[in-house]
Structure 1
Amino acid sequence: MKTRIVGGLLSLALVGTALAGCGAPAKEQGGTGTEGQASKGEPTKLVISTWGFSEDFFKKEVYGPFEKEHNVKIVLDIGNNAERLNKVRQGSSNVDLIYLSDYYAQQGIDAGLFEKIDRSRITNLKEIYDLAKAPLGEDYGPAYTVGQLGIAYNPKATTKEIKAWSDLWSPELSKKLTLPNITATSGPMILDAASVVAGSTAFNEDQAFAKVKELNKGVVKYYSQTSEFVNMFAQGEIAAGPIMEMYVKDLKAAVPDAKFVSPSEGAYAVMNTVNIVKGSQNKQLAEDFINWHLSKQVQEKSAKAKIDSPVNTTLQLTPEEAQGITYGADVVNKLRKLDMKFVNEKLKSWIDRWNKEVAQ
């Protein structure tokens, strides 16, 4: 819907041509990872495009067991969202499976870069949160992790107790506040939050920009990378700002009293997705790997290691294990989700307007 950027509070219900010749030669693959060993012989190469963080964990707990079960050799293509997606777009990679934030994954879908998945083969889909099953449409891959964007603040650096997005407009936070730049992953989320604070039920661009502009003089810096937030927070340059929950542990390492708040109007879902690249000759094997990553076994180990917030609803974490990650239906089902297709269509004009009206 062109008049809305966000689907509201969620209940249980972030130029391409077909690429040929991607991936390794096709082989017969067995089942979904639970139906016995794959045929022995020369391992099949499965090329996975991903970020490369926590490599030791993924090698031991995710890649290794799958390689053994399926007689596979996993090869990684490492980089950030933009550069990895561009390699696929340009046809300069042999990637089978690609991990991207929802914002970049939507660009890949719009460019026709991904295969349509066979959901009947990914049986663990029935075990994950509804918002993670098809965040960008039924034809494309699920989110394997869902985090949240909320507000972090230092209660010793401000007299304001923060409970809502609207609290960012409090006079007590003037000259103590940071906001993400519009070009950051969370930039469009803050624009939507400003529209909500302005009183709009449907996204209103004019009201959103006017509301953000009200904060301009009180913002210390519009950050583009989370490391900038962490450094400013640690040095006492800021007292509060929107940040993804997964980085709160870094804030607490520097400022133990730091608090993270899921705003009363709703925190924002931050989703990373996995998709199969068009032309892959290992499509069924790639679907098996997606199914494996959604399994309780992998999701539980990732959550307990604080690597990723889980989407599998069957695992149970203690309060200590759940600290610092987005966990539980009571949290996930309240998250607000942006319409990434709409965001991609509007972002260029938003950047231009932001530069003219906000970041002066």
Structure 2
Amino acid sequence: FITSPLYKGISILQEVVIRRLFTGLLVFSLCVLTWGAFADEVLPKPTKLVVSTWGFNLDLIRKNIAEPFKEKYGIEIVYDLGNNAARLARLVANKDNPVVDVVHFTRAYAYRAIQEGLLQPYNPNNIPSLAEIYEWARDPLGGHYAVGYAVQHLALAYRPDKITPPVTSWKDFWRDDVAGYITLPDMNTTYGPSILIMCARAWGGSEEDLEPGWEKLAELMPRLTTIYRRSSEAITLFQQEEVWLAPIPSFAWGRLTAAAEATGFPVEQVIPAEGLVGELSVVAVVKGTPNAYWAEKYIDFILSHEVQTAEALDLVDSPVNMYVELPPEIGAKLTYGEEIIDALIFFDQAFIAQHLDEWIARWNEIRTQ
């Protein structure tokens, strides 16, 4: 190299510098190659990955996720099933020796899991599909502890044959013509706290000033048909014509429209003037798993365009991948489309968790007045 005509006349010092530079580059290259081999050695591929999730639509989830994941990586997905509370309790019980690799939760339970020290931050470099999802889904709880992989919303459903003029706002719950034909979710449910915040926003308050919401909810309580804990209860009330107006989560919209068609009554979904309450199903790596890398590969896989499209077409979940395109008849049944996505509002889960016990107590107090 030094004998090249380009380097004739250089000083001995310059020659030494050049030789050291190339020696350094050679060592660096060898280190990179060695680290690659070492990484493969310390990240062995497990035969299975234990995924904690709900039991809904499991056949479709196996078809869209478990089977193609095994085909791609040679790793079997084994499911740990149950509701949020039961699965969180199992994570706590096995905290010192985790048996689950990756967990699906609502934001509220994921936040509790973080507080319990049950989750570990994910490595964004191992999840390239993050670049394809909406920004609000990439790190919804902060600290890179969880990723939103499915989005839902809380819309207002009403009977247009019973209510005129049309419903356009949360304020319409206080109209005299709907009194006795309305219902709300209980405070101790996924969307209960959001009801309080949206009522406050509708009547001049905010997330920081909830008193207008509390005052109006106390006024509204005697006008309610009942308070529901499950969306299936609200759907039954619509079928029995006991309810004409209610907040309905998007995952239940398909069941409501099916019930409406079967029973023969019209129902419409409204984006209220105050916006749509948004919610996320999130996925996270369990702290202490020896398979963290593969848990991140699983997260990357379920965020991919192919899986997000498959899940949406089967009406399992609404996509967070920005590049998923759906037929109109499918998109209409999901949290999908520019109008709905632009209307979404996500409330601070840490703030809600901090005040929830206080809110539940006050809610129960005004219910019994």
| Letter paired with 1:73 | E
Deviation at 1:359, TM superposition (A): 4.5
Paired amino acid for 2:59: D
2:359 aligns to what SS in structure 1?
helix
Aligned to 2:252: 247
2:108–2:349 CA contact under 8 A, matched in 1: yes
Which residue number in structure 2 is paired with residue 339 of structure 1?
348
- 1:89 is aligned, of 82, 87, 92, to 92
Displacement of 1:246 in angstroms is: 1.9
SS of match in other structure, 1:338: coil
Report what 1:352 is aligned to.
361
Q: SS at the partner of 1:255?
A: helix
SS of equivalent residue, structure 1 residue 192: helix
Letter of the 1:78 counterpart: L
Deviation of 1:328 after TM superposition, in Å, equals 2.5
Q: Does 1:279 align with 2:288?
A: yes
Distance 1:185-1:359 versus aligned 2 partners, 3 A rule: farther
Alignment deviations for residues 208-266 of structure 1 (CA, whole Å, 9 cap, x no partner): 11111111111011111111111111111111111112211111122131111121210
Q: By how many angstroms is 1:82 displaced?
A: 0.9
* Structure 2 CA distance for aligned equivalents of residues 58 and 113 of structure 1: 25
Once residues 178 and 96 of structure 1 are traced to their aligned partners in structure 2, the CA distance between those partners, rounded to angstroms, is 39
* Distance change >3 Å, CA 137–CA 29, structure 1 → 2: farther
Q: Where do 1:316-335 residues align within 5 Å?
A: 316-335=325-344
Which of 301, 310, 316 aligns to 1:301? It is: 310
1:201 CA drift (Å): 3.9
Q: SS state of the match for residue 333, structure 1? A: helix
Q: In the alignment, what sits opposite 1:212?
A: 217
TM-score (norm. length: structure 2)? 0.84
Post-superposition Cα deviations, 1:87-121, rounded to whole Å, max 9, x if no partner, equal 10122761111000011111111221101100111
- Is the contact made by 1:160 and 1:172 (CA closer than 8 Å) also made in structure 2? no
- In 2, Cα distance between the equivalents of 1:28 and 1:272? 32
For residues 329 and 141 of structure 1, do their structure 2 counterparts lie closer, same or farther at Cα, with a shift above 3 Å needed? farther
163-172 vs 236-245, which deviates more? 163-172
Q: How does 1:231-246 map to 2 (within 5 A)?
A: 231-246=236-251
Partner of 2:53: 50
Instruction: For 1:73 and 1:208, locate their aligned partners in 2 and report how far apart those are by CA, in whole Å.
Output: 49
Taking the aligned partners of 1:138 and 1:215, their CA distance within structure 2 comes to 39
> 2:110, 2:146 within 8 Å by CA — same for their partners in 1?
no
Counterparts of 1:324 and 1:330 in 2: how far apart (Å)? 14
Q: Distance in 2 between matches of 1:50 and 1:202?
A: 31
Match of 2:144, SS state, is coil
**Structure with the greater alpha carbon radius of gyration:** 2
**Whole-angstrom distance in 1 between the partners of 2:276 and 2:174:** 17
TM-superposed deviation, 1:203: 3.1
- 1:78 aligns to 2:78 (yes or no): no
C-alpha distance in structure 2 between counterparts of 1:30 and 1:143, whole Å: 29
Percent of pairs with identical residues:
34
Query: Given the superposition, is the C-alpha separation of residues 202 and 354 from structure 1 closer, same or farther in structure 2, using an over 3 Å criterion?
Result: closer
Matching residue's letter, 1:302: E
Cα distance in 1 for residues equivalent to 2:343 and 2:235: 26
* 1:258 aligned residue (249, 259, 267): 267
Matched, 1:165 2:170: yes
RMSD: 1.9
Distance, in Å, in 1 between the alignment partners of 2:58 and 2:303 is 18
CA distance 1:330–1:251, shift in 2 (3 Å): closer
Alignment gaps of 5+ in structure 1:
1-26, 32-37
Aligned to 1:179: 184
- Aligned partners of 1:133 and 1:309: how far apart in 2? 15
Cα distance in 1 for residues equivalent to 2:192 and 2:220:
14
Aligned to 1:13: none
Aligned length: 325
Higher helix fraction: Structure 1 or Structure 2? 2
Q: Is the 8 A contact 2:221 2:366 kept in 1?
A: no
Q: Quick one: structure 1 residues 339 and 163, their matched pair in 2 at CA, closer, same or farther if it must change by over 3 Å? A: same
Tell me if structure 2 keeps the 8 A contact 1:216–1:359: no
Higher-RCO chain (CA-CA 8 Å, sequence separation at least 6): 1
